[in-house]
Amino acid sequence: MGKEFLEKALKTELELENKVFIPYIMAGDGGLDELIPTLRRLEAHGATAIELGIPFSDPVADGPTIQEAGKRALKHGTTLADVLDVLKGNRHEVTIPLVFMTYINPIFRYGVSRFFHDCREAGVDGLIIPDLPLEHLDLIEADAVEHGIAIIQLATLTSSEERVKELARRSEGFLYAVTVKGITGARKEFDDVISRHLNLLKEHSPVPVLAGFGISSPEHVKTMSQSCDGVVVGSRIIDLLQAGDEETIKSLIGASKGVRA
């Protein structure tokens, strides 16, 4: 488990001439009893890895759908410690990588060293922290390295080429390409500069480039995957899980299979 496990899983998917598909869910949405069964279903549907959001009262990058999922999880009393405990006892039931998406405040409150130790024990392979810029990576970097957990960087449409180079150089596991100017949430259309943005990231990134934010249909998955190594889909997955629409989830994930750039 850890950074190497995440990188190997993505490499294997791409060698099979598929694109990477990472669904996002909110831990505790529906109660923590649903967490492992949901992870297992998404794995069975063909997910390469799964991004697991940690509910937080003051998110900065989450759109309405993910915010509401976070509120539902908090109403169930979900805490970071609870999520880690569930994974520690049941991680063996899920055989694909898991990536946490959280904010820096919960990590500080938990204790940085304790957090990374417990993530390793729980089988967490990577970490996305939207409100931690590169300039402050030193706050967690030593612990991440010690416990072998990938720190994944986000590159936005407004990032300069110099910034992109630095983000690509420092990102582990994969580089997360933000495809909208704003927060998460399903969208019908994307900015026409996205393909150029993705091509720039691919040019500089030694790790796979995955597009995320706003992807909501099989057509989006196929279109985005033409210019990068795969996608992350969050709000749409949450909506479909709420509706119990497993078939549409399967079609979304299936759209990433056999796509060639």
Which residues are CB-neighbours of 130 under 8 A, at least 6 positions away? 60, 61, 101, 103, 154
* pLDDT tens-place string over residues 134-143: 999 999 999 9
What pLDDT is stored for residue 63 in this prediction?
79
**Pick from 253, 195, 255, 184: nearest CA to 224:** 195
Cα distance between residue 260 and residue 121, in whole Å: 36
Do the Cβ atoms of 35 and 247 come closer than 8 Å?
Answer: no
158 lies in some domain: yes
> How is the beta sheet containing 175-178 ordered, strand by strand?
150-152, 126-128, 98-101, 50-53, 20-26, 230-233, 209-212, 175-178, 154-155
What pLDDT is stored for residue 185 in this prediction?
42
**Pick from 200, 205, 226: nearest CA to 215:** 226
Task: Characterize 85-95 residue by residue with b for buried, 16 or more Cβ atoms within 10 angstroms of its Cβ, and e for exposed.
Answer: ebbeebbeebe
What domain range includes position 98?
Answer: 3-254
CATH label of the domain that carries residue 150: 3.20.20.70
67 lies in some domain: yes
Total count of residues recorded for the chain: 261
Low-confidence ranges of the chain (pLDDT < 50): 182-189
32 lies in some domain: yes
List, as one string, the DSSP characters of 128-193: E-TT--GGGGGGTHHHHHHHT-EEE-EE-TT--HHHHHHHHHH--S-EEEE-SSSS----S---TT
CA dist list (Å): 202 to 15, 47, 115: 17, 22, 31
What pLDDT is stored for residue 184 in this prediction?
47
142 lies in some domain: yes
Q: Based on the structure, what is the number of domains in the chain?
A: 1
Cα distance between residue 160 and residue 242, in whole Å: 38
260 lies in some domain: no
What pLDDT is stored for residue 190 in this prediction?
52
What pLDDT is stored for residue 260 in this prediction?
66
261 lies in some domain: no
- Please state the pTM of the whole predicted model: 0.94
What pLDDT is stored for residue 193 in this prediction?
79
What pLDDT is stored for residue 186 in this prediction?
45
**What tokens were used for 67?**
């915010």
* pLDDT tens-place string over residues 1-55: 899 999 999 999 999 999 999 999 999 999 999 999 999 999 999 999 999 999 9
What SS3 state is found at 125?
A: coil
Residues carrying an active site annotation: 51, 62
What pLDDT is stored for residue 182 in this prediction?
47
78 lies in some domain: yes
List, as one string, the DSSP characters of 19-38: -EEEEEEETTTT-GGGHHHH
259 lies in some domain: no
CB atoms within 10 A of CB 127: 23
